[in-house]
Amino acid sequence: MNSFGRIFKVSLFGESHGDSIGVVIDGVPEGIALEREDFLFDIGRRAPGLKGTTARKESDEPVFLSGIYEGHTTGAPLAVVFRNENTRSADYAQFDAMPRPGHADFVAAVKWDWENDPRGGGHFSGRLTLPLVAAGVVAKKVLEDIDIHAELIEVGGEKDASRWEALLEAAAQEGDSLGGIVECRVDNVPIGLGEPFFDSVESLISHAVFAMPGVRGIEFGDGFRAPRMKGSEHNDPFGPDGPAKNGAGGVNGGITNGAPIVFRVAVKPTSSIAKPQRTWNFKDKKMDTLSVKGRHDVCFALRTPVVIEALTALVLADLV
């Protein structure tokens, strides 16, 4: 379903090549100052134009349909839309016969019986993360002092950021793509957020994060290193000011313990690559060669930190 949250609740809609995409945000407290400018910074962080991101010029101007009156939220649902422009639908015609490896083309066609909008990934497009970022801006306002910061810590297996540009360029030359790892850290978290048994903080954050296309894994605190540690190493003893270390990533028993929430997200390499791939042609019923032309990110992970912040903000705004 296209809604998330119980109290602070977002409903997402739109296909990348339809009229518009947007989001309805319900449960926004009244009286929050909110204007167009508040959205531009985060929207800009998601925008293409960085090295390794797509050359498409997207229309990223938010239009507010409801929920704001004289510069403040009203308590009624807030609807924000973005018009779609600058799409080249013809780019996508061939994928009916040859669904792109790594994409939802195939499963969407089966699930919706070939009635879905195939253009630009339709409702699966990464473009849907744009209204999410807008919802995240609102959520961050609700969270006030809670500070969410995500950043890329690895590209193509390389941790040293000074080498990323060369890697991206090389991959672009080959017509190939790279993945990355994003780390997100939340500071000033009140103790006690999380609603076990089923709505642990990790459950909610991972639920939200795996909604972002292209995520392959998530780990909190020591993450996949934890099973290789002993209890005496992994446990976080308490000190006078709370946990003295943070192997748990800020969460015990599904509930925040006052330490920063820390988690990492594995983002796959972009699926759309120019490099020829041998794959099945469903029309001709034979193996065939596919080269995905279009304009695509070499490494879309570069644009995801702000999306992960937004998703985290949605979860926390629903909990506080």
CB of 53 to its own copies, least distance (A): 15
Candidates 62, 136, 179, 260; binder of its own copies (CB under 8 A) is 179
Two tokens at 234?
């992994």
Choice from 135, 248, 302, 310 touching its own copies (CB under 8 A): 248
As beta bridge partners, residue 251 has 256
Rounded Cα distance between 117 and 97, Å, is 15
Among 208, 306, 307, 319, binds its own copies (CB under 8 A): 208
d(CA 125, CA 188): 33
| Residue 115 neighbours by CB under 8 Å, 6+ apart | none
**One-letter amino acid identity for 11?**
S
Q: Which of 229, 283, 284, 291 binds its own copies (CB under 8 A)?
A: 229
SS3 call for 275:
coil
Give residues 49-108 in contact with its own copies (rule: CB under 8 A).
Answer: 63-69, 72-79, 81, 99, 101-104, 106-108
**What is the closest distance, in whole angstroms, from the C-beta atom of residue 57 to its own copies in the complex?**
21
The least CB distance from residue 107 to its own copies, in Å, is: 4
Closest CB to its own copies among residues 41, 101: 101
Residue 320 C-beta: closest distance to its own copies, Å: 13
Burial code (b: 16+ CB inside 10 Å, e: under 16) for 38-64 equals bbeebbebbbbeeebbbebebebebee
Q: In the window 255-294, what residues touch its own copies (CB under 8 A)?
A: 255-257, 266-273, 275, 277-280, 282, 285, 287
Smallest separation, CB 44 to its own copies (Å): 23
Q: How far is the CB of 64 from its own copies (least distance, A)?
A: 7
The nearer residue to its own copies, 30 or 41, going by C-beta atoms, is 30
Rounded to whole angstroms, the Cα distance separating 315 from 112 reads 29
Total residues binding its own copies (CB under 8 A) = 139
Q: Rule CB under 8 A: is residue 154 a binding residue for its own copies? A: yes
* Min dist. Cβ of residue 140 to its own copies (A): 19
Of the ranges 35-43, 51-59, 142-150, 214-222, which one interacts with its own copies (CB under 8 A)?
Answer: 214-222
The window from 43-51, 52-60, 140-148, 221-229 that contacts its own copies (CB under 8 A) reads 221-229
Interaction residues for its own copies, span 106-145 (CB under 8 A) = 106-108, 110-113, 115-117, 119, 121-124, 128
Residue-wise DSSP of 208-266: HHTTSTTEEEEEETTGGGGGGS-HHHHS--EETTEESS-TT-SEETTEE-SSPEEEEEE
Q: Which of 301, 306, 307, 310 is the binder for its own copies (CB under 8 A)?
A: 301
CA dist., res. 168 & res. 3, Å (int): 35
Distance CA 103, CA 279 (A): 13
Provide, rounded to whole angstroms, the least separation between the CB of residue 142 and its own copies: 14
- Work out which of 53, 54, 177, 304 binds its own copies, going by CB under 8 A: 177
Whole-angstrom CA distances from 33 to 12, 30, 61, 145 are 23, 9, 19, 15
* Letter string b/e over residues 164-181, b meaning 16 or more CB atoms within 10 A of that residue's CB: beebbeebbeeeebbbbb
Tokens 């089966």 appear where?
Answer: 110
Site string for its own copies, 10-49 (x = CB under 8 A): -xxxxx--xxxxx-x-xx--xx------------------
Angstrom distance (rounded) from CA 300 to CA 50: 10
State in angstroms the smallest separation of the CB of 292 from its own copies: 9
